[in-house]
Structure 1
Protein backbone atom coordinates (compact mmCIF):
# COMPACT_ATOMS: atom_id res chain seq x y z
CA UNK A 1 0.00 0.00 0.00
CA UNK A 2 1.41 3.36 -1.04
CA UNK A 3 1.10 6.17 1.49
CA UNK A 4 -0.44 9.40 0.29
CA UNK A 5 1.93 12.35 0.53
CA UNK A 6 0.16 15.61 1.24
CA UNK A 7 1.99 18.70 0.06
CA UNK A 8 2.06 21.93 2.00
CA UNK A 9 0.84 24.94 0.04
CA UNK A 10 1.73 28.33 1.59
CA UNK A 11 -1.27 30.56 2.17
CA UNK A 12 -1.53 34.27 2.69
CA UNK A 13 -1.22 34.57 6.45
CA UNK A 14 -2.47 38.13 6.89
CA UNK A 15 -0.47 40.95 8.38
CA UNK A 16 0.66 39.33 11.62
CA UNK A 17 0.69 35.54 11.10
CA UNK A 18 3.44 33.74 9.21
CA UNK A 19 3.72 30.03 8.48
CA UNK A 20 0.11 29.37 7.40
CA UNK A 21 -0.13 26.45 4.94
CA UNK A 22 -2.78 24.28 3.36
CA UNK A 23 -2.38 20.52 3.71
CA UNK A 24 -5.11 18.67 1.82
CA UNK A 25 -8.44 19.85 3.20
CA UNK A 26 -6.88 21.40 6.27
CA UNK A 27 -5.04 24.59 7.21
CA UNK A 28 -2.04 24.47 9.55
CA UNK A 29 -1.32 27.61 11.57
CA UNK A 30 1.16 28.46 14.32
CA UNK A 31 -0.27 28.21 17.81
CA UNK A 32 -0.43 31.26 20.08
CA UNK A 33 -1.59 32.18 23.56
CA UNK A 34 -5.11 32.63 22.19
CA UNK A 35 -5.29 29.22 20.48
CA UNK A 36 -7.14 27.35 23.29
CA UNK A 37 -9.77 30.11 23.49
CA UNK A 38 -10.11 30.24 19.68
CA UNK A 39 -10.50 26.46 19.41
CA UNK A 40 -13.13 26.48 22.15
CA UNK A 41 -15.00 29.21 20.24
CA UNK A 42 -14.80 27.33 16.93
CA UNK A 43 -16.07 24.14 18.57
CA UNK A 44 -18.96 26.13 20.05
CA UNK A 45 -19.80 27.59 16.62
CA UNK A 46 -19.84 24.09 15.16
CA UNK A 47 -22.07 22.82 17.96
CA UNK A 48 -24.67 25.56 17.40
CA UNK A 49 -24.66 25.05 13.63
CA UNK A 50 -22.87 28.18 12.42
CA UNK A 51 -21.42 27.16 9.05
CA UNK A 52 -19.37 30.28 8.34
CA UNK A 53 -16.25 29.38 10.34
CA UNK A 54 -13.67 26.61 9.99
CA UNK A 55 -13.97 23.50 12.17
CA UNK A 56 -11.21 22.34 14.47
CA UNK A 57 -9.92 19.05 13.04
CA UNK A 58 -9.26 16.21 15.47
CA UNK A 59 -7.32 17.32 18.51
CA UNK A 60 -6.64 20.64 16.80
CA UNK A 61 -2.84 20.23 16.83
CA UNK A 62 -0.61 18.23 14.48
CA UNK A 63 2.68 16.46 15.12
CA UNK A 64 4.60 19.67 14.48
CA UNK A 65 2.64 21.55 17.11
CA UNK A 66 0.58 23.55 14.60
CA UNK A 67 -3.15 24.25 14.68
CA UNK A 68 -5.21 22.01 12.38
CA UNK A 69 -8.34 23.66 11.03
CA UNK A 70 -10.75 22.95 8.21
CA UNK A 71 -9.90 24.60 4.89
CA UNK A 72 -12.76 26.75 3.60
CA UNK A 73 -12.68 26.68 -0.21
CA UNK A 74 -13.04 29.92 -2.12
CA UNK A 75 -11.19 33.18 -2.55
CA UNK A 76 -10.42 36.15 -0.32
CA UNK A 77 -9.53 39.82 -0.75
CA UNK A 78 -11.25 42.78 -2.40
CA UNK A 79 -13.08 41.54 -5.49
CA UNK A 80 -15.22 43.11 -8.21
CA UNK A 81 -18.26 41.96 -6.23
CA UNK A 82 -17.04 43.86 -3.17
CA UNK A 83 -18.47 47.15 -4.46
CA UNK A 84 -22.01 45.76 -4.77
CA UNK A 85 -24.57 46.66 -2.13
CA UNK A 86 -26.07 43.16 -2.10
CA UNK A 87 -22.67 41.62 -1.37
CA UNK A 88 -22.04 44.12 1.41
CA UNK A 89 -25.47 43.26 2.78
CA UNK A 90 -24.62 39.56 2.76
CA UNK A 91 -21.51 40.35 4.77
CA UNK A 92 -23.55 42.33 7.29
CA UNK A 93 -25.90 39.37 7.61
CA UNK A 94 -22.99 36.98 8.04
CA UNK A 95 -21.52 39.06 10.87
CA UNK A 96 -24.94 39.18 12.58
CA UNK A 97 -25.30 35.39 12.28
CA UNK A 98 -21.84 34.96 13.77
CA UNK A 99 -22.50 37.31 16.68
CA UNK A 100 -25.80 35.57 17.42
CA UNK A 101 -24.04 32.19 17.32
CA UNK A 102 -21.56 33.28 20.03
CA UNK A 103 -24.40 33.76 22.53
CA UNK A 104 -23.99 31.30 25.35
CA UNK A 105 -20.23 31.11 24.93
CA UNK A 106 -18.37 32.27 28.08
CA UNK A 107 -17.04 35.79 27.68
CA UNK A 108 -14.53 35.29 30.48
CA UNK A 109 -11.79 32.95 29.32
CA UNK A 110 -8.01 32.96 29.61
CA UNK A 111 -5.93 33.64 26.53
CA UNK A 112 -7.97 36.15 24.55
CA UNK A 113 -5.73 38.43 22.50
CA UNK A 114 -5.72 41.97 23.85
CA UNK A 115 -6.59 44.88 21.63
CA UNK A 116 -8.63 48.04 21.24
CA UNK A 117 -12.15 47.82 22.58
CA UNK A 118 -15.36 49.60 23.51
CA UNK A 119 -15.89 50.91 27.05
CA UNK A 120 -19.23 49.15 27.38
CA UNK A 121 -19.65 45.64 28.77
CA UNK A 122 -18.93 42.86 26.23
CA UNK A 123 -21.98 41.39 24.51
CA UNK A 124 -20.44 38.88 22.10
CA UNK A 125 -17.12 37.41 21.04
CA UNK A 126 -16.18 39.65 18.13
CA UNK A 127 -14.05 38.50 15.22
CA UNK A 128 -12.29 41.89 15.46
CA UNK A 129 -10.31 41.46 12.23
CA UNK A 130 -12.85 40.90 9.46
CA UNK A 131 -10.70 42.36 6.72
CA UNK A 132 -11.20 41.39 3.06
CA UNK A 133 -8.35 38.91 3.51
CA UNK A 134 -10.34 37.12 6.22
CA UNK A 135 -13.65 36.80 4.36
CA UNK A 136 -14.07 33.80 2.02
CA UNK A 137 -16.13 34.17 -1.16
CA UNK A 138 -17.70 31.36 -3.14
CA UNK A 139 -19.66 31.98 -6.35
CA UNK A 140 -19.24 35.71 -5.75
CA UNK A 141 -20.85 35.61 -2.30
CA UNK A 142 -19.19 35.99 1.12
CA UNK A 143 -19.94 32.88 3.15
CA UNK A 144 -17.03 32.24 5.50
CA UNK A 145 -14.81 33.93 8.10
CA UNK A 146 -11.25 32.84 8.84
CA UNK A 147 -8.34 33.84 11.11
CA UNK A 148 -9.90 34.23 14.55
CA UNK A 149 -6.57 34.99 16.24
CA UNK A 150 -7.72 38.49 17.27
CA UNK A 151 -11.19 37.40 18.40
CA UNK A 152 -12.15 38.69 21.83
CA UNK A 153 -15.17 39.74 23.91
CA UNK A 154 -16.51 43.10 22.75
CA UNK A 155 -19.73 44.88 21.83
CA UNK A 156 -21.64 44.20 18.65
CA UNK A 157 -21.19 47.81 17.53
CA UNK A 158 -17.43 47.77 18.03
CA UNK A 159 -17.09 44.71 15.77
CA UNK A 160 -19.44 46.31 13.23
CA UNK A 161 -17.26 49.43 13.19
CA UNK A 162 -14.09 47.34 12.88
CA UNK A 163 -15.59 45.55 9.87
CA UNK A 164 -16.77 48.80 8.26
CA UNK A 165 -13.27 50.19 8.67
CA UNK A 166 -12.22 47.84 5.88
CA UNK A 167 -15.43 47.32 3.91
CA UNK A 168 -17.18 50.70 3.75
CA UNK A 169 -14.32 51.62 3.93
CA UNK A 170 -13.78 54.19 6.70
CA UNK A 171 -10.49 55.39 5.28
CA UNK A 172 -8.90 58.19 3.34
CA UNK A 173 -9.34 57.43 -0.39
CA UNK A 174 -5.56 57.35 -0.85
CA UNK A 175 -5.42 54.28 1.41
CA UNK A 176 -8.33 52.37 -0.11
CA UNK A 177 -8.17 49.49 -2.56
CA UNK A 178 -8.64 50.92 -6.10
CA UNK A 179 -12.03 49.19 -6.46
CA UNK A 180 -13.28 50.96 -3.32
CA UNK A 181 -11.64 54.33 -3.84
CA UNK A 182 -14.71 56.15 -5.15
CA UNK A 183 -17.59 54.33 -3.48
CA UNK A 184 -20.32 56.17 -1.55
CA UNK A 185 -19.18 55.36 1.98
CA UNK A 186 -22.20 56.80 3.80
CA UNK A 187 -24.60 54.70 1.75
CA UNK A 188 -22.48 51.59 2.25
CA UNK A 189 -22.43 52.09 6.01
CA UNK A 190 -26.24 52.25 5.96
CA UNK A 191 -26.54 49.15 3.75
CA UNK A 192 -24.33 47.16 6.10
CA UNK A 193 -26.14 48.37 9.21
CA UNK A 194 -29.53 47.64 7.65
CA UNK A 195 -28.47 44.09 6.82
CA UNK A 196 -27.00 43.53 10.27
CA UNK A 197 -29.99 45.09 11.99
CA UNK A 198 -28.13 47.76 13.98
CA UNK A 199 -30.79 49.54 16.08
CA UNK A 200 -31.28 53.31 15.88
CA UNK A 201 -29.77 53.99 19.30
CA UNK A 202 -26.56 52.26 18.26
CA UNK A 203 -26.44 53.98 14.87
CA UNK A 204 -26.31 57.28 16.71
CA UNK A 205 -23.12 56.07 18.42
CA UNK A 206 -21.43 54.61 15.34
CA UNK A 207 -19.23 57.57 14.41
CA UNK A 208 -18.30 58.11 18.05
CA UNK A 209 -17.29 54.45 18.42
CA UNK A 210 -15.37 54.60 15.13
CA UNK A 211 -13.34 57.51 16.45
CA UNK A 212 -12.62 55.62 19.69
CA UNK A 213 -11.62 52.58 17.68
CA UNK A 214 -9.15 54.58 15.58
CA UNK A 215 -7.54 56.22 18.58
CA UNK A 216 -7.15 53.01 20.54
CA UNK A 217 -6.00 50.97 17.56
CA UNK A 218 -3.26 53.52 16.99
CA UNK A 219 -2.09 53.19 20.59
CA UNK A 220 -2.23 49.37 20.57
CA UNK A 221 -0.35 49.06 17.29
CA UNK A 222 2.33 51.51 18.37
CA UNK A 223 2.83 49.54 21.59
CA UNK A 224 3.05 46.20 19.79
CA UNK A 225 5.39 47.63 17.18
CA UNK A 226 7.82 48.53 19.95
CA UNK A 227 8.23 44.81 20.65
CA UNK A 228 9.36 44.10 17.08
CA UNK A 229 8.19 41.36 14.73
CA UNK A 230 5.44 41.69 12.16
CA UNK A 231 3.72 44.45 14.12
CA UNK A 232 6.89 46.53 13.82
CA UNK A 233 6.95 45.86 10.07
CA UNK A 234 3.34 47.00 9.73
CA UNK A 235 4.10 50.14 11.71
CA UNK A 236 7.18 50.86 9.61
CA UNK A 237 5.02 50.35 6.52
CA UNK A 238 2.79 53.26 7.49
CA UNK A 239 0.01 51.67 9.57
CA UNK A 240 0.02 54.56 12.03
CA UNK A 241 -0.14 57.17 9.28
CA UNK A 242 -3.08 55.37 7.67
CA UNK A 243 -4.98 55.44 10.95
CA UNK A 244 -4.27 59.16 11.36
CA UNK A 245 -5.50 59.85 7.83
CA UNK A 246 -8.66 57.82 8.53
CA UNK A 247 -9.35 59.92 11.64
CA UNK A 248 -8.98 63.13 9.64
CA UNK A 249 -11.25 61.75 6.89
CA UNK A 250 -13.87 60.78 9.47
CA UNK A 251 -13.80 64.27 10.96
CA UNK A 252 -14.61 65.76 7.55
CA UNK A 253 -17.32 63.23 6.63
CA UNK A 254 -18.94 62.67 10.02
CA UNK A 255 -22.13 64.59 9.22
CA UNK A 256 -22.57 62.79 5.90
CA UNK A 257 -22.27 59.34 7.49
CA UNK A 258 -24.53 60.31 10.36
CA UNK A 259 -27.18 61.60 7.94
CA UNK A 260 -27.29 58.21 6.17
CA UNK A 261 -27.62 56.37 9.46
CA UNK A 262 -30.04 58.62 11.32
CA UNK A 263 -32.65 60.17 8.97
Structure 2
Protein backbone atom coordinates (compact mmCIF):
# COMPACT_ATOMS: atom_id res chain seq x y z
CA UNK A 1 0.00 0.00 0.00
CA UNK A 2 1.43 3.38 -1.04
CA UNK A 3 0.29 6.63 0.58
CA UNK A 4 -0.70 9.65 -1.54
CA UNK A 5 1.20 12.77 -0.47
CA UNK A 6 1.44 14.83 -3.68
CA UNK A 7 -1.00 17.01 -5.58
CA UNK A 8 -3.41 15.18 -7.88
CA UNK A 9 -3.76 16.36 -11.48
CA UNK A 10 -6.82 15.01 -13.36
CA UNK A 11 -5.93 13.35 -16.66
CA UNK A 12 -8.29 13.86 -19.57
CA UNK A 13 -9.01 11.51 -22.47
CA UNK A 14 -10.63 8.13 -22.91
CA UNK A 15 -14.31 7.30 -22.77
CA UNK A 16 -14.86 4.76 -20.03
CA UNK A 17 -12.66 5.33 -16.95
CA UNK A 18 -13.33 8.32 -14.69
CA UNK A 19 -11.13 9.44 -11.83
CA UNK A 20 -7.71 8.96 -13.47
CA UNK A 21 -5.16 11.38 -11.96
CA UNK A 22 -1.44 12.03 -12.07
CA UNK A 23 0.45 12.14 -8.78
CA UNK A 24 4.09 13.01 -9.31
CA UNK A 25 5.57 10.42 -11.64
CA UNK A 26 2.67 8.02 -11.17
CA UNK A 27 -0.89 7.60 -12.42
CA UNK A 28 -3.70 6.58 -10.07
CA UNK A 29 -6.68 4.75 -11.58
CA UNK A 30 -9.82 3.28 -9.99
CA UNK A 31 -9.49 -0.47 -9.66
CA UNK A 32 -11.86 -2.73 -11.60
CA UNK A 33 -12.64 -6.40 -12.06
CA UNK A 34 -9.83 -6.68 -14.58
CA UNK A 35 -7.13 -4.94 -12.48
CA UNK A 36 -5.47 -8.14 -11.17
CA UNK A 37 -5.27 -9.59 -14.69
CA UNK A 38 -3.98 -6.31 -16.12
CA UNK A 39 -1.31 -6.04 -13.43
CA UNK A 40 -0.18 -9.60 -14.11
CA UNK A 41 0.06 -8.74 -17.81
CA UNK A 42 2.01 -5.52 -17.19
CA UNK A 43 4.46 -7.36 -14.94
CA UNK A 44 4.86 -10.01 -17.63
CA UNK A 45 5.59 -7.31 -20.23
CA UNK A 46 8.19 -5.77 -17.94
CA UNK A 47 9.88 -9.14 -17.45
CA UNK A 48 9.82 -9.69 -21.22
CA UNK A 49 11.61 -6.39 -21.79
CA UNK A 50 8.71 -4.63 -23.51
CA UNK A 51 9.12 -0.93 -22.70
CA UNK A 52 5.93 0.30 -24.36
CA UNK A 53 3.63 -0.03 -21.34
CA UNK A 54 3.44 1.45 -17.83
CA UNK A 55 4.90 -0.43 -14.89
CA UNK A 56 2.90 -1.53 -11.86
CA UNK A 57 3.81 0.28 -8.63
CA UNK A 58 1.02 -1.05 -6.41
CA UNK A 59 -2.20 0.19 -4.82
CA UNK A 60 -2.75 3.36 -2.79
CA UNK A 61 -4.69 3.91 0.42
CA UNK A 62 -7.85 4.66 -1.59
CA UNK A 63 -7.79 1.31 -3.36
CA UNK A 64 -6.60 2.81 -6.64
CA UNK A 65 -3.99 1.14 -8.79
CA UNK A 66 -0.66 2.97 -9.11
CA UNK A 67 1.18 2.86 -12.44
CA UNK A 68 4.20 4.75 -13.71
CA UNK A 69 3.43 7.91 -15.64
CA UNK A 70 4.55 7.84 -19.28
CA UNK A 71 5.29 11.33 -20.67
CA UNK A 72 4.27 12.37 -24.16
CA UNK A 73 1.20 13.34 -26.15
CA UNK A 74 -1.94 11.46 -27.15
CA UNK A 75 -4.72 12.13 -29.64
CA UNK A 76 -4.64 12.87 -33.34
CA UNK A 77 -2.10 15.48 -34.41
CA UNK A 78 -0.33 16.17 -37.69
CA UNK A 79 2.61 13.99 -36.67
CA UNK A 80 0.42 11.09 -35.52
CA UNK A 81 -1.46 10.56 -38.80
CA UNK A 82 1.55 10.26 -41.12
CA UNK A 83 2.47 7.06 -42.94
CA UNK A 84 5.62 6.87 -40.83
CA UNK A 85 3.64 7.04 -37.59
CA UNK A 86 1.22 4.36 -38.81
CA UNK A 87 4.09 2.02 -39.70
CA UNK A 88 5.71 2.61 -36.31
CA UNK A 89 2.40 1.90 -34.58
CA UNK A 90 2.14 -1.41 -36.44
CA UNK A 91 5.65 -2.33 -35.35
CA UNK A 92 4.89 -1.42 -31.74
CA UNK A 93 1.74 -3.54 -31.77
CA UNK A 94 3.73 -6.46 -33.21
CA UNK A 95 6.31 -6.14 -30.42
CA UNK A 96 3.52 -6.01 -27.85
CA UNK A 97 1.87 -9.14 -29.21
CA UNK A 98 5.18 -10.97 -29.34
CA UNK A 99 5.93 -9.94 -25.76
CA UNK A 100 2.69 -11.55 -24.53
CA UNK A 101 3.99 -14.96 -25.63
CA UNK A 102 3.94 -17.32 -22.68
CA UNK A 103 1.31 -15.34 -20.77
CA UNK A 104 -1.73 -17.50 -19.83
CA UNK A 105 -4.53 -17.17 -22.36
CA UNK A 106 -7.30 -18.30 -20.03
CA UNK A 107 -10.30 -15.98 -20.24
CA UNK A 108 -10.43 -15.33 -16.49
CA UNK A 109 -10.59 -11.92 -14.86
CA UNK A 110 -10.67 -9.83 -18.04
CA UNK A 111 -13.31 -7.19 -18.72
CA UNK A 112 -14.41 -9.03 -21.84
CA UNK A 113 -16.01 -7.74 -25.01
CA UNK A 114 -16.42 -8.64 -28.66
CA UNK A 115 -13.95 -11.16 -30.02
CA UNK A 116 -12.87 -13.45 -32.82
CA UNK A 117 -14.27 -16.97 -33.12
CA UNK A 118 -10.82 -18.49 -33.52
CA UNK A 119 -8.68 -19.68 -30.59
CA UNK A 120 -6.75 -16.87 -28.85
CA UNK A 121 -3.10 -16.44 -29.81
CA UNK A 122 -2.05 -13.40 -27.76
CA UNK A 123 -3.31 -10.92 -25.22
CA UNK A 124 -4.69 -8.03 -27.24
CA UNK A 125 -4.96 -4.46 -26.04
CA UNK A 126 -8.32 -4.21 -27.87
CA UNK A 127 -8.70 -0.46 -27.34
CA UNK A 128 -5.90 1.32 -29.19
CA UNK A 129 -7.72 4.55 -29.82
CA UNK A 130 -5.60 7.66 -30.43
CA UNK A 131 -6.10 8.54 -26.75
CA UNK A 132 -4.40 5.29 -25.69
CA UNK A 133 -1.23 5.59 -27.77
CA UNK A 134 1.54 7.88 -26.48
CA UNK A 135 3.83 9.76 -28.85
CA UNK A 136 7.16 11.41 -28.07
CA UNK A 137 10.33 12.51 -29.83
CA UNK A 138 13.37 10.26 -29.97
CA UNK A 139 15.88 10.15 -27.15
CA UNK A 140 18.01 12.73 -28.94
CA UNK A 141 15.05 15.09 -29.30
CA UNK A 142 15.14 15.15 -33.09
CA UNK A 143 12.62 14.24 -35.76
CA UNK A 144 8.87 13.99 -35.50
CA UNK A 145 7.32 12.37 -32.42
CA UNK A 146 6.53 8.69 -32.87
CA UNK A 147 4.37 6.17 -30.97
CA UNK A 148 6.29 4.53 -28.17
CA UNK A 149 3.79 3.23 -25.60
CA UNK A 150 0.25 2.03 -24.94
CA UNK A 151 -1.87 2.93 -21.92
CA UNK A 152 -5.28 1.94 -20.51
CA UNK A 153 -5.28 -1.85 -20.66
CA UNK A 154 -8.74 -2.16 -19.07
CA UNK A 155 -10.22 -3.88 -22.16
CA UNK A 156 -7.24 -6.18 -22.80
CA UNK A 157 -8.14 -9.84 -23.24
CA UNK A 158 -7.07 -13.07 -24.95
CA UNK A 159 -7.73 -12.83 -28.69
CA UNK A 160 -6.16 -13.34 -32.09
CA UNK A 161 -3.51 -11.06 -33.53
CA UNK A 162 -5.83 -10.18 -36.38
CA UNK A 163 -8.68 -9.14 -34.10
CA UNK A 164 -6.44 -6.69 -32.24
CA UNK A 165 -5.15 -5.42 -35.59
CA UNK A 166 -8.73 -4.85 -36.74
CA UNK A 167 -9.62 -2.97 -33.54
CA UNK A 168 -6.56 -0.77 -34.09
CA UNK A 169 -7.26 -0.10 -37.77
CA UNK A 170 -10.84 0.82 -36.90
CA UNK A 171 -9.39 4.03 -35.45
CA UNK A 172 -6.12 4.51 -37.32
CA UNK A 173 -6.85 3.58 -40.96
CA UNK A 174 -9.64 4.47 -40.17
CA UNK A 175 -12.37 1.96 -41.05
CA UNK A 176 -15.23 4.42 -40.61
CA UNK A 177 -17.60 6.66 -42.48
CA UNK A 178 -15.84 9.94 -43.38
CA UNK A 179 -18.52 11.89 -41.54
CA UNK A 180 -17.31 10.33 -38.28
CA UNK A 181 -13.57 10.73 -38.85
CA UNK A 182 -11.37 13.34 -37.25
CA UNK A 183 -10.60 16.14 -39.73
CA UNK A 184 -6.97 15.03 -40.07
CA UNK A 185 -8.09 11.59 -41.30
CA UNK A 186 -11.08 12.61 -43.38
CA UNK A 187 -9.25 12.64 -46.72
CA UNK A 188 -6.82 9.73 -46.32
CA UNK A 189 -6.75 6.71 -48.63
CA UNK A 190 -7.91 4.00 -46.25
CA UNK A 191 -6.95 1.05 -48.46
CA UNK A 192 -3.36 2.25 -48.74
CA UNK A 193 -3.17 2.70 -44.97
CA UNK A 194 -4.52 -0.81 -44.39
CA UNK A 195 -1.80 -2.18 -46.66
CA UNK A 196 0.92 -0.07 -45.02
CA UNK A 197 -0.04 -1.24 -41.54
CA UNK A 198 -0.20 -4.89 -42.57
CA UNK A 199 3.19 -4.64 -44.30
CA UNK A 200 4.80 -3.04 -41.26
CA UNK A 201 3.28 -5.56 -38.84
CA UNK A 202 4.00 -8.54 -41.09
CA UNK A 203 0.41 -9.75 -41.47
CA UNK A 204 0.47 -12.98 -43.56
CA UNK A 205 -1.63 -13.25 -46.75
CA UNK A 206 -4.21 -15.60 -45.21
CA UNK A 207 -5.02 -13.03 -42.52
CA UNK A 208 -5.11 -10.13 -44.98
CA UNK A 209 -7.77 -11.96 -46.95
CA UNK A 210 -9.83 -12.29 -43.75
CA UNK A 211 -9.26 -8.80 -42.34
CA UNK A 212 -12.37 -7.10 -43.74
CA UNK A 213 -14.57 -10.09 -42.91
CA UNK A 214 -13.39 -9.88 -39.31
CA UNK A 215 -13.90 -6.10 -39.27
CA UNK A 216 -17.52 -6.64 -40.25
CA UNK A 217 -17.94 -9.29 -37.54
CA UNK A 218 -16.43 -6.93 -34.99
CA UNK A 219 -18.82 -4.12 -35.94
CA UNK A 220 -21.79 -6.41 -35.40
CA UNK A 221 -20.55 -7.75 -32.08
CA UNK A 222 -19.24 -4.47 -30.66
CA UNK A 223 -22.62 -2.87 -31.38
CA UNK A 224 -24.33 -5.58 -29.33
CA UNK A 225 -21.78 -5.38 -26.50
CA UNK A 226 -21.99 -1.59 -26.25
CA UNK A 227 -25.78 -1.59 -26.32
CA UNK A 228 -25.85 -4.15 -23.50
CA UNK A 229 -23.33 -2.26 -21.37
CA UNK A 230 -25.20 1.00 -21.91
CA UNK A 231 -28.20 -0.43 -20.07
CA UNK A 232 -26.11 -0.47 -16.89
CA UNK A 233 -25.62 3.30 -17.04
CA UNK A 234 -22.36 5.14 -16.41
CA UNK A 235 -19.96 6.14 -19.17
CA UNK A 236 -21.08 3.32 -21.47
CA UNK A 237 -24.56 4.83 -21.40
CA UNK A 238 -23.10 8.27 -22.12
CA UNK A 239 -21.17 6.91 -25.10
CA UNK A 240 -24.28 5.20 -26.42
CA UNK A 241 -26.39 8.31 -25.96
CA UNK A 242 -23.67 10.26 -27.76
CA UNK A 243 -24.15 8.19 -30.91
CA UNK A 244 -21.65 5.33 -30.53
CA UNK A 245 -24.13 2.82 -31.93
CA UNK A 246 -24.94 4.99 -34.94
CA UNK A 247 -21.22 5.43 -35.69
CA UNK A 248 -20.72 1.68 -35.65
CA UNK A 249 -23.64 1.20 -38.03
CA UNK A 250 -22.33 3.87 -40.40
CA UNK A 251 -18.86 2.30 -40.35
CA UNK A 252 -20.30 -1.10 -41.24
CA UNK A 253 -22.32 0.40 -44.08
CA UNK A 254 -19.27 2.28 -45.39
CA UNK A 255 -17.27 -0.96 -45.32
CA UNK A 256 -19.96 -2.74 -47.33
CA UNK A 257 -19.78 -0.08 -50.04
CA UNK A 258 -15.97 0.09 -50.22
CA UNK A 259 -15.03 -3.53 -49.48
CA UNK A 260 -13.85 -4.41 -53.00
CA UNK A 261 -11.44 -1.49 -53.30
CA UNK A 262 -10.09 -2.06 -49.79
CA UNK A 263 -9.65 -5.77 -50.48
CA UNK A 264 -7.67 -4.95 -53.63
CA UNK A 265 -5.11 -3.09 -51.51
CA UNK A 266 -4.79 -5.98 -49.08
CA UNK A 267 -4.30 -8.83 -51.56
Q: CA deviation at 1:14?
A: 1.0
5+ residue gaps in structure 1?
A: none
Give me the whole-angstrom Cα distance separating, in 2, the residues matched to 1:124 and 1:116.
15
Q: CA deviation at 1:82?
A: 2.3
Could you report, residue by residue, the CA deviation over 1:189-212 in whole angstroms, capped at 9, with x for unpaired residues? 111110100000000000000000
Matched with 1:239 is 244
Which moves more between the two structures, 79-88 or 22-31? 79-88
- Paired residue total: 257
Give me the whole-angstrom Cα distance separating, in 2, the residues matched to 1:206 and 1:193.
10
Give me the whole-angstrom Cα distance separating, in 1, the residues matched to 2:256 and 2:79.
29
Give me the whole-angstrom Cα distance separating, in 2, the residues matched to 1:44 and 1:239.
33
Q: Is the 8 A contact 2:107 2:158 kept in 1?
A: no
Following TM superposition, where does structure 1 have runs of at least 4 consecutive aligned residues deviating by more than 2 angstroms? none
Q: CA deviation at 1:227?
A: 1.0
The alignment partner of 1:137 has SS state of: strand
The alignment partner of 2:22 has SS state of: strand
| RMSD, matched Cα | 1.0
2:116 equivalent among 83, 95, 118:
118
TM-score by length of 1: 0.96
Q: CA deviation at 1:6?
A: 1.5
Give me the whole-angstrom Cα distance separating, in 2, the residues matched to 1:130 and 1:184.
20
The answer to whether the aligner puts 1:248 opposite 2:266 as a matched pair is no
Q: CA deviation at 1:109?
A: 5.1
The answer to whether the aligner puts 1:157 opposite 2:157 as a matched pair is no
5+ residue gaps in structure 2?
A: 138-144
Q: Is the 8 A contact 2:107 2:157 kept in 1?
A: no
The alignment partner of 2:149 has SS state of: strand
Could you report, residue by residue, the CA deviation over 1:23-75 in whole angstroms, capped at 9, with x for unpaired residues? 00000000000000000000000001000000001xx2111110000100001
Matched with 1:44 is 44
Give me the whole-angstrom Cα distance separating, in 1, the residues matched to 2:107 and 2:87.
32
Could you report, residue by residue, the CA deviation over 1:74-97 in whole angstroms, capped at 9, with x for unpaired residues? 010001012211110000000000
1:203 equivalent among 204, 208, 221:
208
